[in-house]
Amino acid sequence: MKFSLPRRHRKSFEVITKKKLDDNINKSEAIQICAEIKKTFDTTPQTFGSSDGKKDSLLELLIILSNQISEEYKDCEVSFKQGVPEIIKINND
């Protein structure tokens, strides 16, 4: 799969993941990318006094990516814990 991101998030995606946006990504890599961005989000300090801080931008990026992963792979679902998305694998029996 290839991610489709708004222009304002493309540079952040490539810097954090060290992958090009044009690269084909399989399911395990996509889930790993979400985990990397979530880790970066957790370690980023709160930003005060700015109209759009880095933490808010990373949260938006994480929501976009997790939504695209859950739509591409039917055995993955998005769950929000304290406003932060997490990808959960579903077992289809």
Q: Could you read off the pLDDT of 22-58 as tens digits, one per residue?
A: 889 898 899 999 999 999 999 888 776 655 678 888 9
For the chain, the farthest-separated pair of C-alpha atoms sits apart, in whole angstroms, at: 50
Query: What percentage of the chain's residues is helix, strand, coil (to nearest 5)?
Result: 50, 15, 35
Residue 60 tokens, joined = 């938006």
Q: Which residues contact 81 (CB under 8 A, 6 or more apart)?
A: none
Containing H/E element for 77? Answer: strand 76-81
This model's pTM is above 0.75: yes
pLDDT more than 90, % of the chain: 39
Hey, how many other C-beta atoms are within 10 angstroms of the C-beta on 26? Answer: 10
For the chain, what are the domain ranges? 7-89
